[in-house]
Copies of this chain bind each other. A is one copy, B any other.
Amino acid sequence: MPSRAWKWFIEYTHPTQAHMHGVDRYIYSGKTAFQRVEIIDTDFFGRCLILDGKIQSSQFDEYIYHEALIHPAMVLHPEPKKIFVAGGGEGAVLREILKHRSVEKLVMVDIDKETVELCKQYLPQWSQGTFEDPRVEVLYMDARKYLEENTEQWDIIFLDLPEPLDNGPCYLLFTTEFYKTVAERLRPGGHIALQADNLNPKLFQCHAAIYNTLKRHFKIVDSYGTYIPSFDTEWGFIFASQTVSALDFSNEKINSILEEREITDLRFYDGLTHQALFSLTKDIRFLRSQSNRIIEDNNPLFST
């Protein structure tokens, strides 16, 4: 093995669990009004965005996270025209959403303008110019406040938020009160997708709580997940709808929709990947069934 690094980023997922990433170069380190931001070049995963000590995405594998978050919900909608994104700072969600040409309007509301500007400057490969797309509008404010105050409805709402940390900017975007508003802002036939915490069975309580809370407002809630190397874990997502289940879409159907839409440049998502994403293993299904935690404004959830 070549010589080891002497600069390290250490991400704790628990007081006795951590992942060490050898660092090539530190690109940026600062504190916005909302969170601490680090941009580093790791030896193994290339450039990484870190918010409050947690890797958000890496150059090497952000395609996995972003394709997994975006394409199932896009494909499951017959003609997604109006898309709302809460969070989404790096801009990679814009890049993926706009691969579906039916999109006419795409509003992204992120609370932290400074972080978005840093991403534009240091992570241009993530957004690939889509911040400048005429269909895109970016607003810098609290997404919950926006949705509460604007009754406009959307085909798909994506929640691409960091983990709900105590004192962090977004723990009130994981509550039953917020999800109720989200459900009300969907057009008929609309649905949502969100990142939904760790699927490590030892750290599963967050995902289960998000799942249970969404169940109050959506008839169909489908957990899904995939291994994300730079997170060193299986990561969870959720698709929620009043009418459609992701489990009803076969390998072939997914592939034919992608073909019709002439989307040929995906590296991660296709029909078989769709099956992989939504096929939860038995232990995870069991753990999910054991939880009945509901997240409320007065009883919020904090990820470790």
Contacts and interface: CB of A to CB of B under 8 A. Distances in A.
A14 B19 CA distance: 12
A interface SS class: mixed
A279 B273 contact: yes
Interface residues of A, number: 64
B16 A19 contact: no
A155 interface: no
Contact of A282 (B10, B273, B282, B286): B273
A21 to B, nearest CB: 7
B18 A19 contact: yes
A253 to B, nearest CB: 15
B282 A279 contact: no
B1 A304 contact: yes
As for how many copies of this chain the complex holds, the number is 4
Interface stretch (A127-135, A146-154, A195-203): A195-203
A279 B276 contact: yes
Contacts of A282: 266-270, 272-273
Given A9-B6, A280-B272, A44 B22 contact: no
B272 A279 contact: yes
A285 B268 CA distance: 9
Nearest to A22: B16
A53 to B, nearest CB: 4
Contacts of A273: 279, 281-282
Interface of A: 1-12, 14-26, 29, 38, 42-45, 50, 53, 60-61, 63-64, 199-202, 226-227, 229, 232-234, 266-270, 272-273, 275-276, 279-283, 285-286, 304
24 contacts: A2-B15, A4-B15, A5-B10, A5-B16, A7-B23, A7-B29, A16-B21, A17-B19, A17-B22, A45-B202, A60-B201, A64-B281, A201-B229, A226-B281, A227-B234, A234-B234, A269-B281, A272-B280, A272-B281, A272-B282, A273-B279, A273-B282, A275-B275, A275-B279
